[in-house]
């Protein structure tokens, strides 16, 4: 009887799904609405500071996450308010701020609003005559990176290398969004497109908002794997000097994605055959370091 059970166990191990089949069984589809908006510190083309007007556009779009550029925090010109915090309150979203410079007694920079609270966030310094940054937010199934790149092409090209290096560290889908200050046929965009798929329509202008002739705002996907179901530039010419844009994307998630917090422990983690992490495995079959293991 024992010999029979042992033989049965060996046969079950031999005929277990391969890694690719196991991944296919645990596939799911990630559907996201992604947005980017250079807010011009919430000062519209009518020269009126109006945070509620910017929030109304975000609420109209209902994005899962939005990258925002040119945000004041406690600056004199914007009446000493934390603009991203007010936008978060008006949209019911989580705020992550990425300051770049000191300005008028406060800070000036970029931000991300998200429906889901980030698992982690951090900034990477980027070059420019005015300091620039890459703000990275990690979520359960994807990563969103926001930026506002330099006006100088040489600095943007250096930034492209730094951004690609950062994107390569992630095994989750990573999206890059913001004001790139670069037109579609620029050397910078040609370089970026070697590694990123541009998701928005580049033949539709985003700047200046009243008569847009240039596309300089983008949403991109690292590695060409996402399907774009919808891409829209919002025809608003009042809230800012840029027009906001959003895209709807679909992407198949395969296998197990590690978080930053998991990386240090990934080599000792156990997962069941449905891809769920198991903190205290009992007797049975598990996946560890990409291999099937039997825990006694």
Structure confidence at residue 28 (pLDDT):
86
Amino acid 291: pLDDT: 56
Contact yes or no for 248/32 (Cβ under 8 A): yes
pLDDT band at 19 (very low <50, low <70, confident <90, very high): very low
**Separation between Cα atoms, residue 170 and residue 165, nearest integer Å:** 10
pLDDT beyond 90 at 217 = yes
Region 68-78: what's the mean pLDDT?
98
Q: What is the pTM of this model?
A: 0.79
Query: 226: closest CA among 188, 191, 174?
Result: 174
Distance between CA 30 and CA 205 in Å, rounded?
A: 28
Residue 144 · residue 175 · CB < 8 Å:
yes
Cα 59 to Cα 64: distance, rounded to the nearest angstrom = 11
The domain segmentation of the chain, as residue ranges, is 30-251, 265-296
Q: Are strands 245-253 and 277-278 parallel, antiparallel or unpaired?
A: unpaired
181's torsion region: left (phi>0), alpha (psi -120 to 50) or beta?
Answer: left
pLDDT of residue 272: 64
CB contact at 8 A, 73 and 41:
no
- In CATH terms, the superfamily for domain 30-251 is Endonuclease/exonuclease/phosphatase (3.60.10.10)
Percent of the residues in the chain that have a pLDDT greater than 90, as a whole number: 74
Question: Is the CB of residue 194 less than 8 Å from the CB of residue 185?
Answer: no
Q: Which two tokens stand for residue 57?
A: 């556009």
Using an 8 Å Cβ cutoff, are 96 and 66 in contact?
no
259 within 8 A of 120, measured Cβ to Cβ: yes
Tens-digit pLDDT profile for residues 77-136: 999 999 999 999 999 999 999 999 999 999 999 999 999 999 999 999 999 999 999 999
DSSP state of 259: P
Quickly state the pLDDT bin for 10 (edges 50, 70, 90): very low
The pLDDT tens digits of the residues spanning 249-292 come to: 999 887 555 555 554 444 456 666 655 667 678 888 866 655 56
């Amino acid at each position: 009887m024992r010999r029979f059970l042992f033989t049965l166990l060996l046969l079950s191990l031999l005929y277990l799904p391969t890694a690719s089949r196991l991944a296919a069984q645990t596939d799911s589809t990630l559907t996201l609405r992604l947005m980017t908006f250079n807010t011009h510190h919430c000062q519209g083309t009518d020269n009126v500071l109006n945070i509620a007007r910017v929030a109304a556009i975000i609420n109209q779009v209902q994005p899962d996450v939005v990258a925002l550029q040119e945000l004041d925090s406690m600056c004199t010109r914007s009446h000493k308010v934390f603009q991203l915090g007010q936008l978060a309150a008006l949209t019911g979203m989580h705020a992550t701020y990425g300051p770049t410079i000191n300005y008028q007694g406060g800070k000036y920079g970029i931000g991300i609003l998200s429906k889901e609270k980030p698992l982690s966030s951090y900034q990477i310094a980027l070059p420019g005559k005015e300091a620039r940054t890459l703000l990275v937010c990690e979520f359960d199934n994807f990563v969103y990176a926001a930026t506002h790149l330099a006006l100088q092409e040489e600095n943007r090209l250096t930034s492209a290398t730094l951004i690609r290096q950062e994107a390569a560290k992630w095994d989750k889908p990573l999206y890059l969004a913001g004001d790139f200050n670069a037109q579609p046929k620029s050397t910078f965009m040609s370089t970026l497109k070697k590694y990123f798929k541009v998701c928005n329509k580049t033949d539709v202008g985003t700047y200046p908002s009243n008569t847009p002739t240039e596309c300089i705002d983008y949403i991109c996907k690292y590695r060409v794997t996402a399907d774009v179901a919808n891409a829209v530039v919002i025809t608003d010419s009042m809230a800012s000097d840029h027009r906001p844009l959003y895209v709807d994307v679909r992407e198949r998630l395969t296998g197990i994605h590690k978080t930053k917090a998991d990386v240090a422990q990934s080599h000792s983690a156990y997962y069941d055959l449905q891809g769920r992490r198991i903190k205290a495995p009992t007797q049975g079959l598990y996946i560890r370091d990409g291999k099937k293991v039997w825990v006694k």
